[in-house]
Amino acid sequence: MLRTTGRIAFSALLLSLFAAFWPGGVRAESPPLSEPEAELEAALHCPASFGSAVRGPVLLVPGTGLTGPENWDWGFAPALVAEGFDVCTVDTKAYGTGDVQLTAERVVFAIRRMYAVTGKPVSVVGYSQGGLNIRWALAFWPDVRAVVRDVVGLAPANGGTDAAAAFCGAGACPAAIWQMVPGSKLLRALAAAGDVFPGPDWTVIYSETDDVVVPPAARSPLPQRPGVQVRNIAVQELCPESQLLHIQFPADGVVFALVLDALLNDGPADPARVPSSVCGTLVPGVTPALAAAKAEELGGLAFQRIAAGEMLTEEPPLAPYAAGLLPSPSPTATPAAPRTGSGRAEGGAGGGAPWALAAAALLLAAACASARLARRSP
């Protein structure tokens, strides 16, 4: 939880001006946040020293099934602090199984609070679903977009994932997974809102061997837009022999080096500035044993929380501020797996059958990562 100082009042005034007038004098309203402030505050994790670092603030957004500290506090967060950055993490709604639109509000709150304390533009790094959460926040809260420096997605589900379509195909899965089905209402509304926007620099780092956001080259990259700096980087562009899996991203040294390059330089990350000597390394301070243990641990946590998530038989409705972007009535996303005759998963709305597959995939990824990392020399 972050306790702010008297700087908030002045910064809040600046933020209100950003919210009222977007570049060009066009009025652009940011919708109100629906969660109580106490809950939003509790979801934000910043150290007591926050606001005193030499470099700018960085918000780390976790992937599905994980809290912010679980995803980041053993690797990326301390490594970025060692580089002089002010680092906070944020928890997603219902461990990332809840509505993406609500998780995005937590990202909005976090960015506003961090900017209010530091007075510096905030860089935002999101892993897996976290990359999608960030984009929704920036698409519909222009005041936040105005104070963001860099957006970096690590194996982000920008276009959803075909795995979500397969998992929801039996008829029931958590809200966020419905929303990551390619062609979902949420993804189409985000595309209609503009996908990416001038102001921040946009970097996507993905792996051609990603086994969760699939197919990676079709689902992770962002589109190129006039006047917007976007760079999509496959890890194999720098390290052709890399077999990086999805669950290995939070420990990978190449990924960290590219993130650091984005944060330290104007514009998106550029692999030409990153030496090939980082290939095969881990995040500074992370040992092979720790990386292997965390891959197994995070896979297990994701398994438990996804399986325990509230199962829905259809995608949640779009919030009023986004609903008008789609024609009415909106076609629904089509999962790939067959439904039962009733259109519901066997076992009713609470059925967990599709998530048995999801959990197995996550645990398999963790096991593979553990085996690979254990073979690395210390």
Instruction: CATH number of the domain at 368, please.
Output: 3.40.50.1820
| 355 has pLDDT over 50 | no
d(CA 180, CA 197) in angstroms, rounded, equals 21
Closest CA to 179 of 231, 135, 245, 144: 135
d(CA 210, CA 212) in angstroms, rounded, equals 6
d(CA 175, CA 162) in angstroms, rounded, equals 16
Domain span at residue 280 reads 7-374
> Does residue 2 lie in a domain region?
no
What secondary structure letter does DSSP report for 247? G
Residues with Cβ within 8 Å of 193's Cβ and at least 6 positions away in sequence, in order, are 139, 140, 322, 325
Write the pLDDT tens digit of every residue in 275-285.
999 999 999 99
Q: H or E segment at 128?
A: none
| 226 has pLDDT over 50 | yes
Q: Which amino acid is at 244?
A: L
> Does residue 247 lie in a domain region?
yes
Task: Give how many domains the chain has, as a whole number.
Answer: 1
Mean pLDDT, rounded, for 136-165: 98
d(CA 148, CA 198) in angstroms, rounded, equals 11
Phi-psi category of 47—alpha, beta or left, where left has phi over 0 and alpha has psi -120 to 50? beta
> Does residue 291 lie in a domain region?
yes
> Does residue 117 lie in a domain region?
yes
Q: What is the torsional sign of CA 225, 112, 122, 208?
A: negative
Residues with Cβ within 8 Å of 84's Cβ and at least 6 positions away in sequence, in order, are 53, 54, 55
Please report the pLDDT score of residue 362 as a whole number.
Answer: 46
Average pLDDT, the chain: 86
Residue 177: pLDDT band (50, 70, 90) is very high
User: Phi/psi at 361 (nearest 5 deg)?
Assistant: -65, -45
Closest CA to 157 of 129, 138, 176: 129
For the chain, give the percent of residues with pLDDT over 90: 77
> Does residue 1 lie in a domain region?
no
Phi-psi category of 227—alpha, beta or left, where left has phi over 0 and alpha has psi -120 to 50? left
> Does residue 157 lie in a domain region?
yes
Residues with Cβ within 8 Å of 276's Cβ and at least 6 positions away in sequence, in order, are 238, 239
| 341 has pLDDT over 70 | no
> Does residue 198 lie in a domain region?
yes
| 30 has pLDDT over 90 | yes
Please report the pLDDT score of residue 327 as a whole number.
Answer: 80
> What pTM does this model have?
0.84
Write the pLDDT tens digit of every residue in 105-134.
999 999 999 999 999 999 999 999 999 999
> Does residue 128 lie in a domain region?
yes
d(CA 183, CA 13) in angstroms, rounded, equals 39
| 20 has pLDDT over 80 | no
Mean pLDDT, rounded, for 192-213: 97
